Amino acid sequence: MLAARSPNFSAALSAACVTATSCRLRHDRSGVPRVADDREKRMHKVTDAGYVFRYHRQGVDPLPRNPDEKVPLARPDCKARNAWSESQARFGENDYIDLLGDGSVHPAQLQYHTPGWLRGFPGQHRANELVKLIHYRNLYKEKMQRNSPRRWHELCKRINFLMTYHNYNKQDELHDERNLGLWEEEPDYYYKDKSRRSFKDLA
């Protein structure tokens, strides 16, 4: 009985061993890096060898089509367009009329999406954050002191910080640039900290 079953049993056992060995080699979980010509290839091992993608990969696979589908694919009819027709050639030729006006209105006054205190205000190339906050403070000082004292306090703190930065730190940066020869050496007689001046005070 065992002798009769031994050939089939050995064949099945050998097939199972081959399958297990191939699966073990395919799904390698060892921590030993593979020998590869690239460092990235060592860390990212191939785990999908022999796998067949059964879903549509956009940009890789063509569009799926059912050969037994009776309803054709909906697509618009092809129209012959004449790019040099009169309607196409004259499209938008009168769009500028009555839009720019006679020049009496400044373009900044048409910026309705921006706050009123920022309309026509120069950008960072002409005015920095300190000038912008001082402009905002001069406009809404009484209203902020009455309605939002905390925002008023934070605004004053930011203005004081920027004043200190532009009067002290910025002067040090300009002094370093002058040492590099980027600026002409001109003494600043109005520098606040008199002890750090390298010249005699006028006052």
How would you write the chain as a 3-class SS string?
CHHHHHHHHHHHHHHHHHHHHHHHHHCCCCCCCCCCCCHHHHHCCCCCCCCCCCCCCCCCCCCCCCCCCCCCCCCCCCCCCCCCCHHHHCCCCCCCCCCCCCCCCCHHHHCCCCCHHHCCCCCCCCCCHHHHHHHHHHHHHHHHHHHCHHHHHHHHHHHHHHHHHHHHHHHHHHHHHHHCCCCCCCCCCCCCCHHHCCCCCCC
Domain annotation covers residue 84: no
**Highest mean pLDDT of the ranges 52-66, 122-136, 180-194:** 122-136
Domain annotation covers residue 172: yes
User: Tens of pLDDT along 117-162?
Assistant: 888 887 766 778 888 898 899 999 999 999 999 999 999 999 999 9
- Indicate yes or no: pTM above 0.75: no
The pLDDT, as a whole number, for residue 136 is 92
Task: Judge whether 117 and 138 are in contact, CB under 8 Å.
Answer: no
Domain annotation covers residue 88: no
Domain region containing 173 = 128-186
Domain annotation covers residue 181: yes
Domain annotation covers residue 30: no
Domain annotation covers residue 117: no
pLDDT band at residue 76 under the 50/70/90 scheme: confident
User: Which residue has better confidence, 102 or 194?
Assistant: 102
In total, how many domains does the chain have? 1
Mean pLDDT of 44-54: 72
The pLDDT, as a whole number, for residue 199 is 47
* 193 pLDDT more than 90: no
User: Tens of pLDDT along 80-120?
Assistant: 888 889 988 888 887 776 666 677 777 788 888 888 888 88
Domain annotation covers residue 66: no
Domain annotation covers residue 135: yes
